[in-house]
Structure 1
Amino acid sequence: MSQADHEADQHAPDHHGAEDYDADLPAHVERALAGFLREAGEPILDVEPTFGHAVEALTGFVLGGGKRLRPTFAWWGWRGAGGASRGTDARAVVRAVASLELIQACALIHDDLIDSSDSRRGSPTVHVAFAKRHADAGWLGQPAAFGQAASVLIGDLALAWAEDMFAGTPLPAATLDAARPAWRAMRTEVLAGQYLDVHTQATGDASAEAALRIDRLKTAAYTVARPLHLGAALAGAGPELTGGLLAFGGDLGVAFQLRDDLLGVFGDPSVTGKPAGDDLREGKRTLLLALGLELAAGQGSEAEHATVAAAVGDAGLTEDRVEQVRRALTAVGAVDAVERRIEELTTSALAALRAADPAAPAVDELVALAARATRRTY
């Protein structure tokens, strides 16, 4: 769908509230994002057209792909707490939950810079693209420094606009205020998780405990638990339902991250959007690697331990050596151990969901989302 189509759809009538937002929710989120990005960008472009490069980059990044998982979990939190699927409130909630994609854009743009990643979704990362813009134009200074500065600012713009989009949602002030604790906690937790991630890489903490602490903050809270909390709070959920959704989201979010860790080593780049082995090159201390090192040491498998240890943080890691790491992790049982942990966490998450007893059809939809987020695809 073109940008023009996005904008046209954003302003299409919703038949006086008859539209059912349960149907093709990602498309509704996409239209809300396209409309907001156009509206947010126009005033600053009138003042400073040069900033159009940044606005265009952010718009392309946000609308250029993504699973829309966070808005989807938030929507089903809203529906599970009794929120309607139709009407003006439902339309407004779509806008509110769509703002999560701008926080995600900020996180990814900054994450790519922190990790020195060259590509995402088959395209150059923001800092790489702006470094190339500088080099191609023959500007003064270092292209890499310009690319780094641009990516920081564009990520900051995404975070600022996330707040604008959420705060500007046409819902009663009391409704938005009820969701503020979830909104604030989510933003703080993802930054704490990101800091813990880089701290762990810097200190070399390869323990399973450290890996799981990062997973709880950086992924589980931010991707599943807090979005569910946010949506449920918008619908006025009580503490019992909120607690159940947070328990479900916490365990499911960790299971989702563990699946992502496996895909980072074993996955198809055309599916994951990043080169296979990038987590190894970046030195990420995942549970998969922690268990691989622990199991290899416990079994006296010196060759496998050395293979895995040497790969972590090696920016020049070749595909052949990634394959050696795959074989080593499989041989010592780390892959099977992570698969078992995913199964255990998914089971406990679903038990918490059913105990919370959210309104229909949220249970079935969240069960389906859990299956999608944790299924084996390598």
Structure 2
Amino acid sequence: MTLGVCGPVDLKLLEWELQGVDFPETNAFPLTSHFINGLLRRGYKVIAYTNSPVIDEPVVYETTQLKVCVARNKPQPGRRFFLFEVEDLQQLILRHPADFISAFWSYEYAWAALKTGIPTVVNLHDVASQILLNHRDMYRLVRWTINAIVVHKAKYLIANSEYTYNQLGKKLRSKTITINNFYPNNLERSLAAPVQKENYIVSVVQGFSRRKNIDTALKAFATIRERQPEVEYHLVGIDMEEGGLAHQYATTHNLAEGVKFLGPLPFNKVTEHIAKAKLLLHSSREESFGMVVLEAMVVGTPVVGGTESGFIPYLLNYGQAGLLTDINSSDAIASSVISLLKNETLQAKLKQDGYDFAVKNFSEQVVIDKHLAYYSKILGKQLQTRSLTSVHTSQE
């Protein structure tokens, strides 16, 4: 049995013999790579399907257990309804077929997998309607339309949280099960021990938008800075670099004092930066899951998140594993952050309770076993492990 994983894959995070190779840039999402690694550790043969904006022809890498097929991604795919990307992925899958495919996200990757006719389960990692409501532009309208096509065509759907599941209509819920996201089992071991906390709070954000709500967080930090001038605020992620959208906004509104605009960082650097922070401020108004929150819980950094921010209240065990606040109010955010910074007893409690809740509910072992059990149910047979021994790379 060969399992396929189709989605955005960070090739540098894969645990295979080709670590250190100068791979082309890909559309990457760490969770997909961690999922592949989890399957490999269980002895499964895996074929990963992803794409890259910097290659002229599809590329295939192959090792003992893992084959990675990289299709092409052309500029401005939304203007073409992602049709080129879907076709290129579809043809690559057909040339290198798996027995079963798990597709991540209900967009071009899932569409391509479904078009092959290979048995496929689609993992829902966001709520397309909520994304469109918070980003009212043509690109998100195209994405919403693709999502509608995919969820209609798919026979099997997996929602990454109860929040995502509850956003679906009754008909879609009838073919959907809920399996939460997970953290990789090597997350803690990847940190240099012991981690020394430094005097900053951190937000990790993929985009400066109404949904991510960094403007309110910056206003809150201005108040925090007045009360505790020694504390810094570090912004990590897309649009968070110097000169980026967040920096421009902060400069225009005189909110940049004490803020470090670090921009995108490699996954291990992000994890290390979260681990060293006094707390993680998660300002998003809506979140289908909240991977960065889970990662903070695992590495021992208390979290402040939104009371009504999608799955965040559940992820923080309704205030038992993190501090919940009105994320739409800069005053409420500032008050919650300041109270937590001043209360070392509460910091220690949230750190321990957050870690315990994460281990019990979101560990790799627990979650991937649920995926494999569902695949077995779909296929009507118990999955068997397999291992091969060849290593080579090729151009398609």
**Structure with more relative contact order (C-alpha pairs < 8 Å, separation 6 or more):** 1
Greater strand content: 2
TM-score by length of 1: 0.34
TM-score norm. by structure 2 comes to 0.32
Q: Which has the higher helix share?
A: 1
